[in-house]
């Protein structure tokens, strides 16, 4: 960026770096943390994931071309993004009053929340349940295309495709590298290990009561 024909100013460069730090690293980092947390609470999901990864790449390292053959890993990640919505708040300003499907969005309203949207029981049955199979080709129509975790429109997340690849690669690599380990909460009991989302720039996992 500094050596481009029309290089950025120092301020622009700093702004880009901060955008990427908060927009790219925190979001994918917390998504993976939540994914591993939920897998550790549901061993049958971990088992299915491990079987998929073993079938696709056996003992060899993962290749980019493997990603399309890991649909279950993708569904597990999508469910982590839906359930915990790392980008829980998105800013927009309504330029005028708008009737949005019968709801008034008043002029000047400034935020909307993918997190709240993704917990709407009208769209997601049992929204607090972590269920990767709501994203199977047979079930996905029930959500009416309501996955807005990356935003939409002109300012939609520019890093979405990169994020999917990165998330799938890291998840599959963790499972492949530690093949003979089982993921467990550090307390040893999922019931004791209550983790809740703490909202900041994203929704990070935090032990409840801390």
Summarize as ranges the residues that interact with ligand HEM (CB under 6 A).
19-20, 23-24, 27-28, 31, 81, 86-87, 90, 114, 149-152, 155-159, 162-163
Nearest approach, Cβ of 161 to ligand HEM (angstroms)?
A: 9
Question: Crossing angle of helices 43-57/71-84, nearest 10°?
Answer: 140
Sign of torsion over alpha carbons 159, 164, 169, 170? positive
Nearest approach, Cβ of 133 to ligand HEM (angstroms)?
A: 20
Q: Give the separation between CA 37 and CA 190, rounded to whole angstroms.
A: 9
Q: Which is nearer to ligand HEM, 123 or 184 (CB)?
A: 123
3-state secondary structure 59-125: CCCCCHHHHHHCHHHHHHHHHHHHHHCCCCCEECCCCCCEEECCEEECCCCCEECHHHHCCCCCCCC
Q: Which is nearer to ligand HEM, 26 or 193 (CB)?
A: 26
Nearest approach, Cβ of 98 to ligand HEM (angstroms)?
A: 16
Buried-exposed string 154-177: b where 16+ CB fall within 10 A, e elsewhere: eeebebeeebbeebbbbbbebbbe
Phi/psi at 52 (5° precision): -65, -45
Nearest approach, Cβ of 189 to ligand HEM (angstroms)?
A: 29
Q: Which is nearer to ligand HEM, 114 or 132 (CB)?
A: 114
Nearest approach, Cβ of 154 to ligand HEM (angstroms)?
A: 7
Q: Which is nearer to ligand HEM, 63 or 156 (CB)?
A: 156
Q: Which is nearer to ligand HEM, 140 or 201 (CB)?
A: 201
Q: Which is nearer to ligand HEM, 63 or 155 (CB)?
A: 155
Phi/psi at 117 (5° precision): -60, -40
Nearest approach, Cβ of 124 to ligand HEM (angstroms)?
A: 16
């Amino acid at each position: 960026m500094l050596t481009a024909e029309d290089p950025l100013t120092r301020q622009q460069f700093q702004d880009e770096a901060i955008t990427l730090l908060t927009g790219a690293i925190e979001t994918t980092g917390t998504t993976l943390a939540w994914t591993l947390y939920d897998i550790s609470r549901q061993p049958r999901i971990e088992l299915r994931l491990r079987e998929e990864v073993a079938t696709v790449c056996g003992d060899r390292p993962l290749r980019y071309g493997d990603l399309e053959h890991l649909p279950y890993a993708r569904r597990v990640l999508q469910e982590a993004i839906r359930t915990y919505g790392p980008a829980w708040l998105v800013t927009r300003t309504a330029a005028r009053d708008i009737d949005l499907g019968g709801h008034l969005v008043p002029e000047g309203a400034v935020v909307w929340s993918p997190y709240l949207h993704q917990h709407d029981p009208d769209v997601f049955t049992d929204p607090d349940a972590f269920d990767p199979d709501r994203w199977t080709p047979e079930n996905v129509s029930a959500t009416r295309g309501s996955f807005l975790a990356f935003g939409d429109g002109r300012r939609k997340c520019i890093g979405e495709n990169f994020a999917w690849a990165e998330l799938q690669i890291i998840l599959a690599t963790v499972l492949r590298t530690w093949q003979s380990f089982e993921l467990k909460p550090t307390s040893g009991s999922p019931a004791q290990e209550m983790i809740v989302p703490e909202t900041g720039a994203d929704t990070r996992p935090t032990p409840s009561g801390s």
